[in-house]
Amino acid sequence: MPRARAAKALASAVARPRLLAAAGPDNTKRRILEAAFRRLAQQGYAALSMREIAKDAGVNHALINYHFRTKDQLVIAVLDEANRQLLERQQRMYSAPTSFADKWKEARRFYQTDLASGFVRVQAELWAASMSNAGLREKFVPRILAWKELVLGGVREAFATLEACDVRLPAPFTADVVATWITEFWLGMEFADLIGIREREIGHNAALDAIEQLLETLDAQARKRDKGADAPAKRRVGKRGRT
């Protein structure tokens, strides 16, 4: 797709944010979640109006209270629905039989999709609101930790591959440390993108490219190890064939 068309498609997606993969029955609860997601992504948490959400969803205002009771329970339900879909997507990506570099590229593509859909904005809005809302924070933090745990699992897999190749990082550089670098970098990148800091002033793409190159090196070492492990087995088969 030409760059101009891609930019237009991205702008169009931002103009019409919605929960990703929102297939399923078009019931009242789903319509409310969709409307709340759009309002969060476009106007933010502080401006969120239950009456406007009801209007957008085409339902009576009382139905929002019936299904979700409070504004905070509604926004957490929105986050849960988005997280459910996106965490499943990430887990499929991590478990796929692809290289580490390919998984990194896929994660970068996912990020652009999530930025365009409004999910990154929704999550950032709840980060900010949680700073002064203890009740919301109590519900929000475990959901953020679930993302961190997912990244940690991927990093641990990469470390296991390194060790299988007889490559070990110095003791302070554990999988937990590296996973923290990745998640906190990603969080900073999200906020910078949302408030419009220009890429050339922060160099996020260069940092992401550098990690991709490191992973390509790791993939090459893993392929070399696998070929070396196959060679003795082939020789044994050859000897048996000649006897």
Instruction: Kindly report, residue by residue over 45-96, the tens digit of the pLDDT.
Output: 999 999 999 999 999 999 999 999 999 999 999 999 999 888 889 888 988 8
Confidence check: pLDDT of 237 > 60: no
Average pLDDT score over residue span 168-195: 93
Residue 21 confidence (pLDDT): 52
Whether residues 125 and 191 fall in one domain: yes
208, part of any domain: yes
**Are 39 and 105 within one domain?**
no
Q: What is the pLDDT of residue 139?
A: 95
Radius of gyration of the chain (CA): 23
Of 38, 69, 100, the domain-final residue: 69
In a domain, residue 51? The reply is yes
Domain span at residue 64 reads 25-69
* Residue 10: half-sphere exposure toward Cβ, Cα within 13 Å: 15
The two tokens of residue 141 are 């933090």
Whether pLDDT at 173 is above 80: yes
Q: Are residues 32 and 128 in the same domain?
A: no
pLDDT > 70? residue 198: yes
Name the more confident of 203 and 3. Answer: 203
The enclosing domain of 62 has a CATH number of: 1.10.10.60
- Tell me which of 69, 90, 122 is where a domain ends: 69
Are 65 and 129 contained in the same domain? no
Helix axes 100-117, 3-15, angle to 10 degrees: 50
DSSP assignment, residue 199?
A: G
Is 104 inside a domain boundary?
yes
In a domain, 38, yes or no: yes
- Indicate whether 88 and 103 sit together in one domain: yes
Is residue 20, in this structure, part of any structural domain at all?
A: no
Q: Is residue 196 part of a domain?
A: yes
Longest distance between any two alpha carbons in the chain, whole Å: 83
Q: What is the per-residue pLDDT for 11?
A: 41
**What distance in Å separates the CA atoms of residue 173 and residue 175, rounded to the nearest whole number?**
7
Answer yes or no: pTM beyond 0.85: no
**One domain for residues 140 and 232:** yes
Q: Which residue has the higher pLDDT, 227 or 97?
A: 97
Give the per-residue pLDDT at 233: 46
Range of weakest confidence among 10-14, 35-39, 116-120: 10-14
In whole angstroms, give the CA distance from residue 53 to residue 61: 8
Do 53 and 121 belong to one domain?
Answer: no
Q: How confident is the model at residue 32 (pLDDT cuts 50, 70, 90)?
A: very high
Assess whether 38 and 92 both reside in one domain. Answer: no
Kindly state whether residues 184 and 133 are assigned to the same domain.
Answer: yes
Q: Are residues 112 and 161 both part of a single domain?
A: yes
Domains: count for the chain: 2
Q: Could you tell me the CATH number of the domain that includes residue 94?
A: 1.10.357
Please give the average per-residue pLDDT across 207-229, as a whole number: 86
CB atoms within 10 A of CB 147: 17
Residues 100 and 178 in one domain: yes
59 with 78, same domain: the answer is: no
- For residue 11, being part of any structural domain is answered with no
pLDDT of residue 9: 43
Residue 7, pLDDT above cutoff 60: no
Q: Is residue 3 part of a domain?
A: no
* pLDDT value at 185 more than 60: yes
pLDDT value for 94: 86
